[in-house]
Structure 1
Amino acid sequence: MTRTRLPTEAFLITFDTADGGALRRPRGSDGYPPYDIERLAPRMGVERLRVTLAVAGFDENELDVSIEANQLIICGKQVDREEVDYLFRGIASRQFQRVFAIEDGMEVTGASLRNGLLSVDIERHDPVHLVRKINISTAE
């Protein structure tokens, strides 16, 4: 039996440490697949985070990572495999969708799948400060 989990609220990823964390989790989320969010060492002054999801049993072509309107959307749907005669089945094979809201200025720089873990790297570059000259007109 396949369960579809569509989130009603996105997780918020932020570099703001005023509240002590990089994630604000909505109430009522079911926790599948489990994930970690880690702060990586800055590189060349750029702040970095990594979101890692435990996706045991999923192939690269069964996972999708996309960005839409400041949301990082990670989906997984396993394709039907030949009928297997399981003696015990403990590895989940359900489809999922995880949505993370990301702050303005954050950029997803890549994703990798190794040993059943999907890692998505996020960077926040320093905002570009533009100085713009405003012409003053004289009213006559």
Structure 2
Amino acid sequence: MTKMTLGSHPHMLGFEQLERLLERTAKSGNEGYPPFNIEQTSDFSYRITLAVAGFAEEDLQITVEDRTLVIRGRQSDDGDGRVFLHRGIAARQFQRTFVLADSVEVGEAIIENGLLHVDLTRAKPETVVQTISIRRG
């Protein structure tokens, strides 16, 4: 039996990029840290919230690379000579990626109470009707 892909389905023309996008998302390697929420805040807006307790604003970097929202965190080791008897709060780096549709734009990012909020908006789709003329061959 042959595997049917989006790009090879006879009624799905031009969806090869979507198929590659799905494969890239599956391979993104996002692990469980840091935990996050995605909420729909209106019909055309979303908010991603990451739990980044212990990270300062300068420890975080947010970029959009090839329609992928990338959030990175790296805490600097202050090395102030502290001696830990137990270290249960990990100071590890992370990278979270979220693939964005072409119509989604990243808005502002806010950090408060150990939570990083990233607001996204999706453009309202325009209804496009195109009439194709038929000519004789």
RMSD between superposed Cα atoms in Å: 2.9
Give the TM-score normalised by the residue count of structure 1: 0.67
Aligned pair 1:10/2:8, yes or no?
no
* Aligned-partner Cα distance in 2 for 1:92–1:74: 18
Residue type at the aligned position of 1:61: E
Aligned-pair identity (%): 44
**What residue identity is the alignment partner of 2:89?**
I
Match of 1:30 in 2: 31
The match for 1:127 among 121, 125, 128 is 125
Match of 2:89 in 1: 91
Q: In the comparison of the two structures, how many residue pairs are matched?
A: 114
Whole-Å Cα distance in 2 between the matches of residues 27 and 111 of structure 1? 22
Counterpart residue type for residue 125 of structure 1: A
TM-score by length of 2: 0.69
Specify the SS of the correspondent of 1:120.
Answer: strand
Residue 39 of structure 1 aligns with an amino acid whose one-letter code is Q
- Paired residue secondary structure (1:10): helix
Q: Give the residue type in structure 2 aligned to 1:124.
A: R
Write the distance in 2 (CA, Å) between the matches of 1:102 and 1:28. Answer: 17
Question: For the residues of structure 1 that align with 2:128 and 2:44, how far apart are their CA atoms?
Answer: 21
In the aligned structure 1, how far is the partner of 2:32 from the partner of 2:63? 20
2:58 is paired with a residue whose SS is helix
How big is each residue's C-alpha offset from its partner over 1:108-130, in whole Å with a ceiling of 9 and x where there is no partner?
11101111111100110113456
Output aligned runs, 1:9-88, within 5 Å: 9-10=24-25, 29-40=30-41, 42=42, 47-81=44-78, 82-88=80-86
User: Who wins on radius of gyration, i.e. which is larger?
Assistant: 2
- Distance between the aligned counterparts of 2:89 and 2:68, measured in 1? 28
Q: Comparing both structures, which one devotes a greater share of its residues to helix? A: 2
Q: 1:48 touches 1:123 (CA, 8 Å); kept in 2? A: yes
**Structure 1, unaligned runs of 5 or more:** 1-7, 12-25, 136-140
Which structure has more relative contact order (CA 8 Å, sep 6+)? It is: 1
Q: Distance in 1 between matches of 2:50 and 2:81?
A: 27
Is contact 1:48–1:122 with CA below 8 Å preserved after alignment? Answer: yes
